[in-house]
Structure 1
Amino acid sequence: MSSFTWKDDFRTGIEEMDKHHKKFFDYLTQLEEAAGGSKGKEVIERGLKLADDYIKYHFTEEEKLLKITGFPGLAHQTKEHKFFVSQINDLRDKYTKGDAFLPISTLAFLRDWFLHHILEEDKKYGEYLSGVAE
């Protein structure tokens, strides 16, 4: 069972992106619960696919926003996003190719990495865009 609780401190101030972040965390929480319970492999595979598809959608939308607004940290954000997507892809590949064990610690790593990314990287564009809007 996940001990993760969404907090307002995680907000970037960009409402649409904050909705995306929260939804992705919901996916990860559901995966943690499925992996820690007695859910079948198909349920976990479906959850991994949903998380993978959604994070790619989110990163694409976020990068579009940052490009349109001229955010100076776009290249770094893109690099970070590619790393994270590769981690999820590796996890999916290993799991679907027969490693029927999905460690909670692996999902916790993904969640913690994403949370750190929001707090350390995404908050920067939140501050930047707030300044642009003023």
Structure 2
Amino acid sequence: MTCDSVDYGSLVWSDDLILGIDQIDEQHRKWIALVQAYQSAVVDGGSAEEIQRTLTAAVAYTESHFDDEQAVMEEAGYPFIDDHLDQHRLAWRRVNGFTAGSPTEDGEETNDLRDSLADFLPQWLMLHINTADRQFARWYRSRSDSAQATAPCAPAAIDDGRVFADIPL
């Protein structure tokens, strides 16, 4: 994977996703594995029980990770926390919208919702890690006395601190 060609639809852990904050990096590894399990269950035609089990695990971990990440940001005094949390809330509403669908008699709506969520989660997660989370990590590391080298493929911040200020939250 090169910095110029991130495939946001392909959810695979790689060193390019390392932010340099151990707690968050470890959670991202686990979260990606859970979302991959859900996506695989849907794409490979897993049983309804497997799909539900993997979805439940991925959604529960999403909520837990969002809470943990918010706590790290609050403790550090991150000045762009509101933008970041807005992104979390939008994703959470989208996930809840997908999971709140009601099945039709033939199960078609349920399958469409599962497929849509299996597409959305990996794309959103890759984009979020590579933009908003990377922006936070860069800010966080810049404040640290033991600042580490910039993580691979880290885009340069613009003046207001947001990496892509023109993308609406």
Could you state the TM-score of these two structures normalised by the residue count of structure 2?
Answer: 0.71
Specify which of 72, 77, 82 is matched with residue 70 of structure 1.
77
Any runs of at least 4 consecutive aligned residues in structure 1 with deviations exceeding 3 A, and if so which?
none
What residue number does 2:134 align with? 123
- Retained in 2: the 8 A contact 1:35–1:44? yes
Instruction: Report deviation, 1:36.
Output: 1.6
Assess, with a 3 A threshold, how the Cα gap between structure 1 residues 79 and 3 changes in structure 2: closer, same or farther. closer
1:112 and 2:119 are equivalent in the alignment: no
1:26, distance to aligned residue in structure 2 (A): 0.8
**One of 12, 36, 44 as aligned partner of 1:37:** 44
CA distance in 1, matches of 2:140, 2:89: 23
Equivalent residues, number: 130
SS in 1 for 2:110: coil
Q: Which has the larger radius of gyration?
A: 2
Paired residue for 1:9?
16
Assess, with a 3 A threshold, how the Cα gap between structure 1 residues 57 and 132 changes in structure 2: closer, same or farther.
same
Give the superposition deviation at 1:12: 1.2
1:90 aligned residue (88, 94, 97): 97
Letter in 2 for 1:39: G
Read off the aligned partner of 1:107 and give its amino acid letter.
A
On the 8 A contact 2:95/2:117 being kept in 1, the answer is no
Distance in 1, matches of 2:89 and 2:110, equals 25
Distance 1:3 1:121 in 2: 18
Which has a greater percent of helix? 1
Write the letter of the residue equivalent to 1:32: Q
- Larger mean Cα displacement after TM superposition, 34-43 or 57-66: 34-43
SS at match of 2:100: helix
The Cα RMSD (Å) is: 1.6
Equivalents in 1 of 2:142, 2:45: separation in Å?
Answer: 48
Q: Which consecutive residues of structure 2, in runs of 5 or more, have no partner in the other structure?
A: 1-8, 104-108, 146-169
Give the unaligned 5+ runs of structure 1: none
Q: Normalising by the residue count of structure 1, what TM-score does the alignment of the two structures yield?
A: 0.88
Contact 2:10/2:122 (8 A) holds in 1: no
Mapped contact 2:20–2:137 kept (Cα < 8 A): yes
| Aligned-residue offset at 1:63 | 0.4
- Helix, strand or coil for the counterpart of 1:100? helix
